[in-house]
Amino acid sequence: MSAFRTRNATEADQVTRAEVKMAMLCAKNNIPFSFHDDFNKCVADMFPDSAIARKYSTGKTKATQIIKGAIAAELEDELAKTCRSQPFSLMCDESNNRKTDKEFVILTRLYDEATLQVAPRFLEMPICNVGNAENLYEKLSEALRKRGIPWDNLIAFNSDNASVMKGRHNSVISRLKTSQPEVQDLGCICHLVQLATGCGIRAAQVPVEDILVGIYTHFDKSAKRCEIYKEFVDFTDSDHLKLLRPTLTVNEEVERSVKVRDLASHLRDPIVKTYFLFLSAALKPLSEFNIAFQSEGVHIHRLEEEMCRLMKRILGYLIPARAVPLREVEYGDGHQMADEDLFIGADTKKFMRSAELPVSAEKKIFQTMRSFLLSP
C-alpha cells in the first residue's frame, strides 16, 4: 500500500488504491467475493461526482486475484522474511472433519515491530488427511523449508494436548526436538483445565454430559419444541445451539423413547438438580481462568500466579485456610471440612434446605461433590 501513498499519485493509482483497499476490507470482515459484483454496479451511482468511482471496476474475479494473487503473496513473503530474521513460535491445530479433507492450521506468533506487540500470523493450512505424528511433522517441516525459515529461530511450540501432538516418544513435539532441541513445549492451558473439569465430572459419576445431550436432542426432534426453545432463546438473548444427529432407524426411535423417559427422571431427581447447582458454583473459577487465558494478549507472565490462585480457590472449597506453602497443603482424609462447612454455593444450600432430602441422599450428594473436587 505504501506505493500508492504519494502526493503525485495519478488518477489510475488512486483507482487501484481504492480497489485494493475495498478488497482488503472485504477480506478482513469475511465478506464473500461475490459482493464485489454488486458493489461494482452501484459505486458510480453512489458517488456520481467522483472520477475514481466512475473508473472503479473490481468484481468478484478481480477481487479474488487482488487478495490471493497479490496481497496474500506479499504478506506471506513479509512473514517469511520476519521469521528468517527473528525468533518466533508455532501454533498448530488439526481438523477433525470426517466428511471432507482434513486441514492442518499452522500459525506463527512473533513480535511485530510495526505495532510493538506480540501477535499471531497465519502461515499455512495444508491438507493432512492422515493426521499421525509423522505426517503432521512433515507438513510443519515443509512449511518452514519452502520459505527458507531456519529451525534455530523456533523458540516455542503450542498446540492442544492430544498424544499425537504432545506424546513423549512418538509425537510432533518429539520430532520437533530433533530439529530444534531448545524448543519450548507450551501446552494449551485452557485445554488442560477443560480436561481436568471433565475428569472431575466423570469422577462424580453423575451423567452430566448425557443429560445435556439428551435435552438438546429432545428439543431438536420436534418442531413444536424447537419453536418453544427458540422463543426462550430469543427472550434470554442467548445463542441458539443446535445439535445435529443422524437419521434414526425404527430401533433407534424405540431407544430414543427410553432415553427421553430416563432424561425426564433425571430432571425430576432432586439429587441431580443439586449437583447441577453445585457445578454452577464450583466451575466458576475454572471458567474465569479459561476466559483470562483465551485472550489474544500476552499473559504468560501471569500463568503461575493465576494457577496458584485457581488452586487456592478450589482447595478453599474443601479444606480450612492454612498459612502453609501451596505445595505442602494436605487435603486428604482427616484434613477436609465437614459436610456442612463445604463450599457448595448459596443456591445449592438453599435448594437442599427446601427439598428436605433424606440424610442418606445428602450424604451421597456430599460424597459426589468431594469426588469432583478431589479428582486427579
Please, which residues have CB within 8 angstroms of residue 192's CB and are 6 or more apart in sequence?
A: 161
Statement to judge: residues 20 and 96 lie in one domain: no
**Averaged confidence pLDDT in the chain:** 82
Considering 73, 100, 119, which residue would you say is the last residue of a domain? 73
Domain range spanning residue 370?
193-209+240-374
Write the burial class of residue 275 (CB in 10 Å: 0-12 exposed, 13-18 middle, 19+ buried): buried
pTM, whole model, 2 decimals?
Answer: 0.63
Asked whether residue 164 is assigned to any structural domain, the reply reads: yes
Asked whether residue 297 is assigned to any structural domain, the reply reads: yes
Asked whether residue 141 is assigned to any structural domain, the reply reads: yes
90 φ, ψ (degrees, to nearest 5): -115, 140
Please, which residues have CB within 8 angstroms of residue 218's CB and are 6 or more apart in sequence?
A: 225, 260, 263
Q: Does residue 352 or residue 97 have the better pLDDT?
A: 352
Statement to judge: residues 268 and 361 lie in one domain: yes
Statement to judge: residues 172 and 278 lie in one domain: no
Statement to judge: residues 64 and 144 lie in one domain: no
Statement to judge: residues 25 and 92 lie in one domain: no
* Region 105-127 average pLDDT: 89
Statement to judge: residues 268 and 297 lie in one domain: yes
The bridge status of strand 104-112 relative to strand 117-124 is: antiparallel
The alpha carbon of residue 128 and the mean position of all alpha carbons in its chain are separated, in whole angstroms, by: 21
Statement to judge: residues 360 and 261 lie in one domain: yes
Asked whether residue 227 is assigned to any structural domain, the reply reads: no
Statement to judge: residues 23 and 109 lie in one domain: no
The bridge status of strand 184-187 relative to strand 154-159 is: parallel
CB 19 within 8 A of CB 56: yes
Q: Does residue 280 or residue 250 have the better pLDDT?
A: 280
Is residue 241's pLDDT more than 80?
A: no
Q: Give 50's strand partners.
A: none
Is residue 252's pLDDT more than 70?
A: no
Question: What DSSP string runs through 11-54?
Answer: HHHHHHHHHHHHHHHHHHTT--TTHHHHHHHHHHHHSTT-HHHH
Q: What pLDDT digit, counting tens, does each position of 265-302 carry?
A: 777 788 888 888 888 888 888 888 888 887 777 777 88
Is residue 244's pLDDT more than 50?
A: no
Considering 21, 47, 73, which residue would you say is the last residue of a domain? 73
What pLDDT is stored for residue 21 in this prediction? 93
CATH label of the domain that carries residue 152:
3.30.420
pLDDT band (50, 70, 90) for residue 263: low
Is residue 313's pLDDT more than 80?
A: yes
Statement to judge: residues 49 and 93 lie in one domain: no
Asked whether residue 222 is assigned to any structural domain, the reply reads: no
Statement to judge: residues 259 and 339 lie in one domain: yes
The angle subtended at Cα 273 by Cα 270 and Cα 277, nearest 5°, is 135
Q: How many domains does the chain have?
A: 3
Statement to judge: residues 110 and 154 lie in one domain: yes
Statement to judge: residues 14 and 109 lie in one domain: no
* Region 335-344 average pLDDT: 85
